Structure 1
Amino acid sequence: MTLITSPSNPRISKLQTLHSARGRKKHGLFLMEGPHLLETLLNAQLWPHEVYYQPTLLQRTAEGRALLERLLHTPALTESQLIEVSDRVIEALGETQTSQGVVSVLTLDALDPAVLQQKRQPGARPCLLILDDLADPGNMGTILRTALAADVERILLTPHCVDYYSPKVVRSAAGAHVALPVETNVDWETMSTRIASHCGDHVQVLLAEAGSTHMYYEQDLTHPFALIIGNEAHGPSPEGHRLATLPISIPLANAVESLNAAMATGIILYETVRQNAMHVSTSSSKEHH
């Protein structure tokens, strides 16, 4: 088993370039830092390209010890893919202030949306979520996590969105990358095709926009629809406006102009969850009568 003790080792230097979008694109790799994300990967049987770990740091907790044991006995990972490193090296690899002892390296195509879609339980998922030039990595990660919890169909990202694979997005998404189908760099022509395919005969594209007189909770969210969330500073793009069939807003009191993008997305997605739960409940009570 390989052991690396110097942060200036060429392999480590290469991995440090993955903290930038340019480095990720050049090498076709990205990082997932921490035990929770590695465990999520192993549970989903998505095998990392490589895993760099510091045993002493992992062994500080019962969960870390169990994960280390599991990691070293996962048949799908060969010895050459498991690289033990020193404290200095694991600190150099990570972005968090205190390393949790493990960093996984994945290929950019490891999260193929078609593959992730096949792994999901079958079911009706009305919402197709479109993020239109979203800029903040924390917002992106929070939206990914919320969208997975609210069981959206998939997420489409416009080409100018913050990098889906950036460490800050990956960290704040807390494992959503592993389970939620996301298509990146989707142009508006492809977007139209995806929406038509999702919605069928009745195309409904809702655009979250402060100031609209149409409230989000007045809409029927039980049938397939697309929801566009725009850029935090500038709002939706002209293309997003053209594609929308209806702008919707969230009521705001006390002269508050708008909500954080992730918060607004969560409110609308959970109205979808509420309406669909009511719809299922009403349908089943009719059947019993």
Structure 2
Amino acid sequence: MLITSPHNPRISKLQDLYTRRGRKKSGLFLMEGPHLLEVLLDAGIVPREVYFQPELLQRTVKGRVLLERLVHSAGLSDDQLIEVSERVMDVLSDAQTAQGVVSVLPLDVFSPARIYAKRLPAHRPVLLILDNLADPGNMGTILRMALAADVHAVLLTANCVDYYNPKVLRAAAGAHVA
């Protein structure tokens, strides 16, 4: 399937996922970029849908490898793998420069139960509590550091930036999946 119009109803619904309200209403969120999609696929997580722009992906070696994987071995059906025009990708992209791929995932893909099931039990688990953290870039960085420090869980108070904010996801660089 190829989508060329930014006014396509499917694209409009995806744009809603860049807001906390849209994510909560649909139960879905977006992850943008080849690196994050590669991390998901390596972890055995198959997105609900992947929107991609082949010309943008083919600009880098990593993008070409990912494109090959998407088309041949990622476990995505034709209905889940949707090609879009550069204009549509620019509309879908939250980054200053579109990275060529946007994945749609259910919010529960990073649920505590799912994450704990993958972790080894800790003798003395370390918990990190974040309170009133408003900057998405800082939260993403803290999540990466928590992963490196083998923190068992990160707890967020209600007044923190949204965990699924696109800037948090980008700054965390895959720490959500680990």
Same fold flag (TM > 0.5): yes
Residue identity matched to 1:112: S
* Secondary structure class of the residue paired with 1:97: coil
Deviation, structure 1 residue 125 = 5.5
Question: What do you get for the CA RMSD once the two structures are aligned?
Answer: 1.3
Residue 276 of structure 1 is matched in structure 2 by: none
Residue 223 of structure 1 is matched in structure 2 by: none
Deviation, structure 1 residue 126 = 3.6
Could you tell me the TM-score, scaled by structure 2's length? Answer: 0.95
* Secondary structure class of the residue paired with 1:11: helix
Deviation, structure 1 residue 73 = 1.9
Residue identity matched to 2:20: A
CA spacing shift, 1:36–1:124, aligned 2, 3 Å: farther
Q: Distance in 1 between matches of 2:121 and 2:75?
A: 27
Residue 187 of structure 1 is matched in structure 2 by: none
Residue 160 of structure 2 is matched in structure 1 by: 161
Percent pairwise identity: 69
* Secondary structure class of the residue paired with 2:79: helix
Residue 97 of structure 2 is matched in structure 1 by: 98
Cα deviation, 1:124-158, whole Å, max 9, x if unaligned, reads 45411111222111111111111011110111111
Deviation, structure 1 residue 177 = 1.0
Indicate conservation of the 8 Å contact 1:125/1:151, yes or no.
no
CA spacing shift, 1:102–1:110, aligned 2, 3 Å: same
Q: Distance in 2 between matches of 1:121 and 1:49?
A: 28
Could you tell me the TM-score, scaled by structure 1's length? Answer: 0.59
Residue identity matched to 1:169: V
Cα deviation, 1:13-61, whole Å, max 9, x if unaligned, reads 1111111111111111111100000000000011111100001111111
Residue identity matched to 1:150: A
Unmatched 5+ stretches in structure 2: none
Indicate conservation of the 8 Å contact 1:125/1:152, yes or no.
no
Q: Distance in 1 between matches of 2:134 and 2:98?
A: 26
Residue 111 of structure 1 is matched in structure 2 by: 110
Residue 139 of structure 1 is matched in structure 2 by: 138
Deviation, structure 1 residue 120 = 2.8
- Higher RCO (C-alpha 8 Å, min separation 6): 2
Residue 62 of structure 1 is matched in structure 2 by: 61
Residue identity matched to 2:72: H
Q: Are residues 1:40 and 2:39 paired?
A: yes
1:215-254 equivalences under 5 Å are none
* Secondary structure class of the residue paired with 1:47: coil
Cα deviation, 1:67-100, whole Å, max 9, x if unaligned, reads 1111112353211000000000111001111111
Residue 13 of structure 2 is matched in structure 1 by: 14
Computing the radius of gyration from Cα coordinates, the structure with the larger value is 1
Residue identity matched to 1:33: E
Q: Distance in 1 between matches of 2:54 and 2:124?
A: 41
The aligned length equals: 178
Q: Are residues 1:4 and 2:3 paired?
A: yes
Residue identity matched to 1:115: R
CA spacing shift, 1:87–1:134, aligned 2, 3 Å: same
Residue identity matched to 2:109: A
Q: Are residues 1:85 and 2:84 paired?
A: yes
CA spacing shift, 1:127–1:87, aligned 2, 3 Å: same
Q: Distance in 2 between matches of 1:95 and 1:48?
A: 18
